Amino acid sequence: MSQSAFSKTAYIDRDCYRSYYDGRLYDYEYKTKKDLVYTETLCAKGMNQSKSFVEILNEYETDKITLRYDSKIGREFVINLDNRFIVKDESGYIDKEASEIFIKDYLNDFFQRNFVSKGFAVHYAVHCPQKDESDNYHLHAIVLENLYDEKNKKWIKNLYYDEDNKRRSHNELDDRSKSGKRIRELRKDISDLQNKLLKEMGYKDSFVEYQSYKNRGLNKCAKYKLSLYHHKELESLKSQYSYIDDVIERNNKILEDRKGKLTKKQIHNLKAEIYNELNKKNENKEYTKEVNKAIENAFENKAKGFVNHTSNIIFSAIQSAVANSNNQAKKGHSRGM
């Protein structure tokens, strides 16, 4: 975590907390609690279950293993939740109490299996901002960096030396040879959990994906998640250039006019939109070309005497064209990626 653990906790809890370590007050109450659904602290085995996460943080920050000002305190995870898990009242607003009852056990199980059972304490906050008709259901989780020693009631140093005198880490996410695999496992676990719940709710399609576009065989470019400030700045620019209807032309104009004034991530996101828009246009052209070709073939068959079944022939030809277009697109995707 690049920010103070207290600052981040106060922010996601939409609250006001003081750190005894540096004496600073972190106040995020002004954010209001409109988008906060609930918060939860999961203690590792042996820890005092009655303590709040703020009390745990104060103990943790003043422990010998974290006395350096730049000691790593924990990791933050941001996890998107499917909006279909939101429980709403008759007026269409989120019912926070009902939503918490619905999702809490599933989320606690995820963190219990992946972190708490291994000795890592977890604190998380579930948010659901509501703007216009769109929802953004997600959670922020802070996982403390060090294991808790149940027997000796203290935190264990994350780094140690094995029997071959090689430097190792208790946390797999700190091991470069294991971290990539571990992150993929975590992403798969949370998506599997959500998909299982969606099936139980009766949904048969449109499930949560965890793999990249590349691994899914899609010729699309992913965008970065921007900070709130840079996101608003980019949206404001798009609004200023909204007189340009074409996304490609608009984004190129922004890139040209704002050269040297955009962050690398903002530039990437603008270029990603251009890339995806170009692919969409090319795919539509291929689709149209295939369908027109199929209709021509169908009418050629009609001229040859297949009068009674003309509509079926055209329909079958179009179906064949669509399938052929999709296959060509998939081949192109796999080559391109």
Tens place of pLDDT for every residue, the chain, 337 residues? 545 888 899 999 999 998 877 788 888 887 777 899 999 999 999 999 999 999 998 888 777 777 777 778 889 999 999 999 999 888 888 899 999 999 999 999 999 999 999 999 999 999 998 765 678 899 999 999 888 988 888 888 888 888 888 888 888 888 878 888 999 999 999 999 999 999 999 998 888 887 777 777 777 888 888 887 899 899 999 999 999 999 999 999 999 999 889 999 999 999 989 988 888 887 777 666 666 666 666 666 655 555 444 445 555 555 565 566 556 555 444 333 2
0.85 surpassed by pTM: no
Percent helix, strand, coil in the chain (nearest 5)? 50, 15, 35
Whole-number Å distance between alpha carbons of 251 and 276:
12
**188: closest CA among 207, 173, 175, 206?**
207
Work out the angle at residue 80's Cα, subtended by the Cα atoms of residues 76 and 84, and round it to the nearest 5 degrees: 150
Q: What is the pLDDT of residue 204?
A: 84
Backbone conformation region of residue 80, classed left if phi is above 0, alpha if psi is from -120 to 50, else beta: beta
User: How many CB atoms within 10 Å of residue 38?
Assistant: 17
What residue type is 331 in one-letter code?
Answer: K
Alpha-carbon dihedral sign for residues 84, 85, 88, 94: negative
The domains located in the chain, with CATH, are: 5-200 (3.30.930.30), 228-336 (no CATH)
What residue type is 209 in one-letter code?
Answer: E
Strand 16-18 and strand 36-42: the pairing is: unpaired
Q: What is the pLDDT of residue 136?
A: 86
**Of how many residues is the chain composed?**
337
DSSP state of 98: H
Q: Token match 């989120």: residue?
A: 94
**313: closest CA among 326, 327, 328, 300?**
300
What lies within 8 Å, CB to CB, of 275 at 6+ separation is: 220, 221
Whole-number Å distance between alpha carbons of 318 and 295:
7
Q: Token match 């899914």: residue?
A: 216
**258: closest CA among 228, 237, 230?**
237
